[in-house]
Amino acid sequence: MTDLVIRALDASDVSLFDTLPDPLDARTAHRATRHRPEWKRVALREGRVVARGAWWGGPDDGEPLVLNWFDVAEGEQEAGAELLRSAPWQVEVEMNLPAGWREDPSLRAAADTRFAALRAAGHQLLVERHLYRWTPGHGLPERPGRLVFTPEPDDAVFLDALRRIHSATLDAHALAAIEQGGVEQAAREELDFFNWCPSPREWWQIARTPDGDPVGIHIPAHNPSGPCVAFVGVLPHQRGHGYAYDLLAECTHLLVEHGAEFVAGATDRGNFPMAAQFARAGYPVVRERLNFRPSDAVQGIR
């Protein structure tokens, strides 16, 4: 094979990024995502793009938080791996795939090519996730009326709830944080994310029974791509009553009351209880996401 050239793009040649075919329809997945030209990199062979990556972060972030667009031409897995190895940012990779990709041979083949490049670069799978998108056509989920929702200005109250919620969690990212730094780290990472979202702090709510017993929290938010369910969590001693649905329904209503025309959500594929509540609330799975981490990060949480 001819020599491989890997380089960053800028505003003058960013259109080069779009010359590689897009069989996994990443463009649709990122219709509301803003990628900075200088955070895009391509691998070229004889002037033709054979691998590409677009790193992403919020508008105020000085460095990317994730790589969420990664494509590799068939037979060019090593080029894709070298694109990753040579990048200045070694961060988590989000592979966003069409729903049902496993059952479509062409989509499965395209995904497997990318997975092979990721593994060749030393990345390991952390978790598979469902991505949801509620729209008004699905109808607002009914509010059961079992809980009382109130705002809470003290971050310490949410931090305490997060510690308790993550003391018994199915969430892979939280479990990774716990492996690395305990429940305290998992709770603080969630709180940092809530504060990072560019939406009003007063939207955060505590849920209680009519008698005042805390049940859990929900965080309606806007991330840079739009309105989303940032977090729904039920305290361990309150589980088994389906309260996650109540929290999710209230979160959806609050976002719609503040003008949301859609609401995004996500949960781990193995979190069957939460997936069931998304389905009950009228949230269809629109895509799937596989999160990969550089091997050093994975080894660091073991």
CATH number at residue 213: 3.40.630.30
CATH number, position 93: 3.40.630
**Is 90 exceeded by the pLDDT of residue 302?**
no
Q: What is the mean pLDDT of residues 3-7?
A: 95
Q: Would residue 297 count as lying in a domain?
A: no
**Which of 58, 92, 121 finishes a domain?**
121
The three-point CA angle 227-233-234 to 5° equals 145
Q: Is the dihedral of CA 220, 249, 30, 258 positive or negative?
A: negative
> Are both 142 and 116 inside the same structural domain?
no
Terminal CA-CA length for the chain:
39
Q: Would residue 100 count as lying in a domain?
A: yes
> Are both 153 and 44 inside the same structural domain?
no
From CA 256, how far away is CA 263, in angstroms rounded? 8
Residue owning tokens 């510690």: 163
Kindly write down the DSSP assignment for every residue of 193-212, as one continuous string: HHHHSSS-GGG-EEEE-TT-
> Are both 39 and 67 inside the same structural domain?
yes
Decide: helix, strand or coil at residue 261: coil
Q: Would residue 301 count as lying in a domain?
A: no
> Are both 117 and 154 inside the same structural domain?
no
pTM score of the predicted model: 0.93
Q: Give residue 232's domain range.
A: 137-286
Q: What is the mean pLDDT of residues 127-146?
A: 98
Q: What is the pLDDT of residues 165-191, one digit of tens each?
A: 999 999 999 999 999 999 999 999 999
> Are both 50 and 164 inside the same structural domain?
no
> Are both 76 and 191 inside the same structural domain?
no
Please report which confidence band the pLDDT of residue 299 belongs to, taking 50, 70 and 90 as the band edges.
very low
What's the structural domain count of the chain? 2
> Are both 149 and 189 inside the same structural domain?
yes
Q: Would residue 78 count as lying in a domain?
A: yes
> Are both 151 and 117 inside the same structural domain?
no
Q: Would residue 252 count as lying in a domain?
A: yes
Q: Would residue 35 count as lying in a domain?
A: yes
From CA 218, how far away is CA 239, in angstroms rounded? 15
Residue 300's pLDDT is 38
Q: Would residue 294 count as lying in a domain?
A: no
Residue 247's pLDDT is 98
> Are both 116 and 142 inside the same structural domain?
no
Burial annotation 173-198 (CB, 10 A radius, 16+ → b, else e) = bbbbbbeeeebebbbebbbeebeebe
> Are both 145 and 262 inside the same structural domain?
yes
The more confident residue out of 297 and 96 is 96
* Burial label, 10 (beta-carbon count in 10 A; 0-12, 13-18, 19+): exposed
Residue 297's pLDDT is 54
CA-nearest of 185, 241, 186 to 216 is: 241
Residue 1's pLDDT is 61
Output Rg (C-alpha) for the chain, integer angstroms: 20
Q: Would residue 298 count as lying in a domain?
A: no
> Are both 148 and 281 inside the same structural domain?
yes
**Which of 78, 95, 121 finishes a domain?**
121
> Are both 141 and 279 inside the same structural domain?
yes
Contacts of 172 (CB under 8 A, 6+ apart): 126, 127, 268, 270, 291
Q: What is the pLDDT of residues 207-259, one digit of tens each?
A: 999 999 999 999 999 999 999 999 999 999 999 999 999 999 999 999 999 99
Q: What is the mean pLDDT of residues 284-300?
A: 82
From CA 85, how far away is CA 71, in angstroms rounded? 15
Residue 32's pLDDT is 86
